[in-house]
Structure formats: structure tokens, C-alpha cells
Amino acid sequence: MWNFLNSTCTIYILPSDRPKGKKSRGKKEIKLAVAYDGWVKRSPGSDEYITHNKIACAGFASSKEFKELVDATIAKEYNVDEIEIKIINGDGASWIKESLGEEGVYFQLDPFHKSQAVIKNVEDKKDAHKLIKMLDEGKAEESLEYITKLIIEQKDDEKQKEKLEKLYNYLVANKEGITPYQKREEIKIPEAPEGIEYKHLGTMENNIFDILANRMNAGKMSWTEKGANNLAKILALKTNGKLNSVVEAYFNVTISEEKLAEIKEEIKLSAADVNKKQKKAKAYHIQRGGMPFEGCAMTNSRKAIREILRYKCLSELKVI
């Protein structure tokens, strides 16, 4: 079984071709996908859990290109023939559902975004709490009927009515993902391997912050698209524990036999020069000067400077 967390991190992009002196910047969403095969205890006897076999990939790409990147990343690290079920957890964006339709792939609307949508669009706290409870229990039809009832009740409040309609449309567009995956009859969850547990999918926002936002949005940083894309890939490699090996491979230059023979020949020629009689070098006399302020009236500051120079050369002193 595999769980996928797909989402976007909004960053500020500075167009590389913007007019000189123009300080305006735009926002752009960078895609992030995180995959793992369950949860394990942080340590024996601990009540805290962490995701197991987590991998990540990130960058700017079209839906199709990013799906290919995700599939390739997973295939490189794991045996895809052993994956029985894929649960794709996301905020409902169309690119996140790119894999739907494949055998054993199911979509779940991210619990955080589901609750956030309710809180943003339902003003009455009691109604919001009741609706969130319905959604968490997987009562999709009942939830939509309840929102319809609220819309009718708010017919005189145009602003609140529009918010409720927005919420209704959002949930209808993601209706297949409203019910948590553990409560769906069509999903036959396999038995978890020893030491691994299958829990709810609620780590999406944490992963966005830990992997991308904490570094890329610190101090409201701005990026060029190329720079942001490159850094996102580096941060994903770090998450996967592959950064050091990639850097080592990049700098581990293999020298061809032909080039190695050429280097050896140059070394032989250099060694032959050592035995040659050295030509007599010209002597250049060094002009020496006395200590600063020699023969001048001494002030406290001049005395201090002369004392410093007794222990350090002038070239070693740092000028602030």
C-alpha cells in the first residue's frame, strides 16, 4: 500500500526579463509530491509516529510531466509490482488527480483543506462544527444536503450565500474524495507489514513546510523560476537522503586512460627539469623602512600602533 501527498507551495517569483529597476513580483505555485508506505513509531515505546520510506519530488512542471517525474522517482526507489493500493491525498487541484483511473488508485480530499474550506465559508461556528463532523464520518450526500439547507436559510445574505455556494461546488468537484479511505467499502486495505501502521492522511501541510516553505518562504524571499526549481529539487533530494550521494557523484570525475597517460608524461617532463642546473637568479634588494612614527612626537594612539606592529606585520592587520 502506498500513500501520496500532493500539494503546492506558493512562492514569489521575480521574472528574469523584468525591466531594470522594476520591483514587482508575482506568485507561482511549485508542485510537491510526497510518498510513503505507512507509519512507524519514532522509537520503541513512543506514542509519536513518523512516516516510513518517505520520498519526495518537487518542481515546476505540467500535470503530465510531474506525474511522470513522480512515477519515475517511485520506480527508482521501490518495487512497483508490490504496490497494491495508492491513496492520493490532495487539495482537489486537477493535476493531483492525474493518476485517477489507474487500477488500485484512489483519491482522498485532504482533511486539513476539507475542514479549512468549511471554516472559511460557514460563518456560524455550530454549523461549521456539525458539517466538519459529517465530512469526517464520510457522509458526503448528507453534507451536501446540509449546505443546501444553509444556502436556502441565507437567501437574504448574498455574501454568505455566495460563500456557501463556493463550498458546495468545491465539495461536489471532490465528492469521490470526501469519505476517508479507511471507511470506503471499495478499498480493501491489505494487512500492514510488521511494525508498520496505516493511519489517516494528515501530514500534507507539515511536509510542505518542512520540505519547501521553511527554506523558500523564509523572510518572504523572492526567486527566479529557474532558481526556485533547482532549489526545490535539491530540497527533495535532501528529504530522500540522496543529496550527499548525488553531490559526490557530480564531483567524482573519472579520468580516461588517454588523459591519464598524458598527465603522467607531463609529470615525467617536470621531473627531468629538477636535475637541470639552475640558472643564477638576479638579486633584488628589499627596501626596508623603519617603524611608523619614528622620530615623531609620541601620542597615546601612536604608541599603541607601534606596540601592535611589534607582534604583527602590517599586512596581517584587518582594516575595518
Span 37-73, pLDDT tens digits: 888 888 888 888 888 888 898 888 888 888 888 888 8
99 occurs within a structural domain: no
Query: For the ranges 34-43, 99-108, 311-320, which has the lowest average pLDDT?
Result: 311-320
**How confident is the prediction for the chain on average, in pLDDT?**
80
Share of the chain above pLDDT 70, in %: 77
- CA 177, CA 148: separation in Å to the nearest integer? 19
113 occurs within a structural domain: no
Which range is most confident: 47-51, 173-177, 188-192, 268-272? 173-177
Span 3-19, pLDDT tens digits: 555 666 555 656 544 44
How many domains does the chain contain in total? 1
pLDDT at position 249 over 60? yes
22 occurs within a structural domain: yes
Contacts of residue 229, defined as CB under 8 A and 6 or more positions apart, other chains included, come to: 30, 59, 60
Which letter does DSSP use for residue 36 in this model? Answer: E
- CA 281, CA 264: separation in Å to the nearest integer? 29
97 occurs within a structural domain: no
Per the model's pLDDT, the better-predicted residue between 247 and 237 turns out to be 237
In this structure, are residues 235 and 212 in contact, taking their beta carbons and an 8 Å threshold?
Answer: yes
pLDDT at 251 (0 to 100): 62
255 occurs within a structural domain: yes
Cell representation of residue 320: 575595518
pLDDT at 168 (0 to 100): 96
pLDDT at 139 (0 to 100): 92
- Expressed as residue numbers, the domain containing 4 is 1-84+190-259
Task: Report how many helices (DSSP H) and strands (DSSP E) the chain contains, helices first.
Answer: 11, 8
- CA 218, CA 52: separation in Å to the nearest integer? 28
Span 179-238, pLDDT tens digits: 988 888 888 888 888 888 888 887 777 788 888 888 887 777 788 888 888 888 889 888
Q: What is the value of pTM for the model shown? A: 0.67
166 occurs within a structural domain: no
278 occurs within a structural domain: no
In this structure, are residues 302 and 296 in contact, taking their beta carbons and an 8 Å threshold?
Answer: yes
